[in-house]
């Protein structure tokens, strides 16, 4: 049985007072909780299971994205149901997640990657309909989730989806959140999920943030005279950088990449208005916004290898620190 608490109570004071009042504090905590049955062992595994090439599965999905495609964001009630489902899956209740997702046209599938043998849980659309354009979530099923990679503009920011897959495949303890439409789909910026809170993408990221899971969001930019950099690293709405983010920029520098550090200088594309960065600040979760030039994310390039290695070091640190 699990205890689900409506609020968190913190007991403070000198140790001599704690010895007196901790039992009372414990009663208050229990009064604010409700009992909820723990998932049975058979409920922790999704009913649907597939043997797949993970990379091909994800890239096959994003290959269909078009700027002129229709797009409708989920409504408020749909987002609330999705948040509950993601929370259930993160808590180990896969079949509870399935029940909540089914009315949305979404489901959970346990995937085994044919290349690595690693297992992942996927939230994705189960058939045609507007939910196919809401995006997908991939969770490493063999370890606790300690970090996530976010791809808000697949195809539009070319090869960012490939880099996100690479991080998921090569590093344990991760999740991949990927948008389900081209950023210009639907018109009026509706599908630009990095700047919209009414998206499945944002809903999923916030659920991870509420659990203290840090994330790195991957973007790409075109070369221009006002962007003499290979990478722009920032912390979104936060103006300071943690030691792990500074270390990420240092690794990129050491690899020969020209890096603009938004906590030290004025940089283009700092991501200050990024809504996932703002929610990370509210939820006190780590958030790193990374912009990469075309040559630092295209497959097979030396700069791409350096960027990927540096990002791998970031998420490995998060995993070890968890």
Query: Is residue 152 domain-resident?
Result: yes
Co-location of 100 and 24 in the same domain: no
Query: Is residue 41 domain-resident?
Result: no
CATH number of the domain encompassing residue 150: 3.40.630.100
What confidence score (pLDDT) does residue 39 get? 58
Query: Is residue 180 domain-resident?
Result: yes
Average pLDDT over residues 257-262: 96
pLDDT over 70 percentage in the chain: 86
Co-location of 114 and 138 in the same domain: yes
32-70 exposure pattern, b = at least 16 Cβ within 10 A, e = fewer: eeeeeeebeeebbbbeeeeebebbebbeebbeebeeeee
Co-location of 147 and 196 in the same domain: yes
Co-location of 103 and 218 in the same domain: yes
- Segment 275-294, tens digit of pLDDT: 999 999 999 999 999 999 99
Co-location of 227 and 188 in the same domain: yes
- Segment 194-217, tens digit of pLDDT: 999 999 999 999 999 999 999 999
Query: Is residue 270 domain-resident?
Result: yes
- Segment 88-104, tens digit of pLDDT: 999 999 999 999 999 99
Co-location of 50 and 26 in the same domain: no
What confidence score (pLDDT) does residue 41 get? 61
- Among 274, 273, 67, smallest CA distance to 187 is for 67
Query: Is residue 257 domain-resident?
Result: yes
pTM of the model: 0.87
What confidence score (pLDDT) does residue 37 get? 57
Q: Does 87 score more than 50 pLDDT?
A: yes
Query: Is residue 313 domain-resident?
Result: yes
Co-location of 15 and 58 in the same domain: no
Co-location of 22 and 63 in the same domain: no
What confidence score (pLDDT) does residue 38 get? 59
What confidence score (pLDDT) does residue 215 get? 98
- Segment 131-187, tens digit of pLDDT: 999 999 999 999 999 999 999 999 999 999 999 999 999 999 999 999 999 999 998
What confidence score (pLDDT) does residue 83 get? 98
Total domains present in the chain:
2
Co-location of 13 and 95 in the same domain: no
- Segment 213-247, tens digit of pLDDT: 999 999 999 877 677 899 999 999 888 999 999 99
Co-location of 129 and 245 in the same domain: yes
Co-location of 99 and 169 in the same domain: yes
Q: Does 24 score more than 50 pLDDT?
A: no
- Among 316, 322, 262, smallest CA distance to 291 is for 262
Co-location of 260 and 135 in the same domain: yes
Query: Is residue 181 domain-resident?
Result: yes
Contacts of 199 (CB under 8 A, 6+ apart): 73, 74, 134, 135, 179, 191, 193
Query: Is residue 30 domain-resident?
Result: yes
What confidence score (pLDDT) does residue 40 get? 62
Can you read off the two tokens belonging to residue 235?
Answer: 């912390």
Query: Which residue range forms the structural domain that includes residue 23?
Result: 2-36
Can you read off the two tokens belonging to residue 290?
Answer: 């990374």
């Amino acid at each position: 049985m699990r205890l689900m608490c409506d609020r968190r109570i913190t007991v403070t004071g000198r140790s001599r007072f704690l010895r007196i009042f901790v039992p009372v504090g414990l009663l208050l905590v229990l009064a604010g909780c409700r009992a909820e049955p723990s998932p049975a062992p058979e409920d922790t595994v999704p009913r649907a299971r597939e043997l797949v090439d993970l990379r091909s599965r994800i890239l096959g999905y994003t290959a269909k994205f078009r700027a002129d495609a229709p797009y409708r964001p989920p409504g408020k009630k749909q987002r609330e149901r999705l948040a509950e489902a993601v929370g259930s899956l993160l808590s180990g209740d896969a079949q509870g997640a399935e029940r909540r997702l089914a009315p949305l046209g979404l489901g959970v599938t346990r995937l085994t990657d044919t290349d690595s043998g690693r297992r992942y849980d996927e939230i994705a659309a189960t058939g045609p309909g507007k939910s196919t354009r809401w995006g997908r979530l991939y969770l490493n099923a063999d370890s606790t989730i300690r970090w996530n990679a976010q791809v808000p503009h697949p195809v539009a920011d070319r090869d960012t989806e490939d880099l996100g897959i690479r991080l998921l495949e090569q590093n344990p303890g991760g999740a991949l959140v990927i948008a389900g439409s081209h950023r210009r789909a639907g018109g009026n910026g509706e599908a630009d999920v990095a700047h919209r809170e009414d998206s499945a993408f944002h809903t999923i990221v916030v659920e991870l943030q509420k659990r203290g899971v840090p994330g790195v969001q991957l973007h790409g930019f075109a070369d221009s005279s006002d962007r003499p950099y290979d990478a722009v690293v920032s912390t979104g709405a936060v103006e300071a950088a943690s030691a792990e983010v500074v270390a990420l920029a240092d690794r990129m520098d050491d690899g020969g990449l020209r890096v603009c550090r938004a906590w030290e200088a004025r940089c283009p594309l700092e991501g200050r208005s990024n809504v996932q960065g703002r929610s990370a600040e509210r939820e006190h979760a780590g958030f790193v916004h990374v912009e990469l030039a075309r040559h630092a994310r295209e497959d097979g390039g030396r700069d791409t290898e350096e960027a990927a290695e540096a990002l791998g070091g970031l998420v490995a640190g998060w995993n070890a620190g968890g």
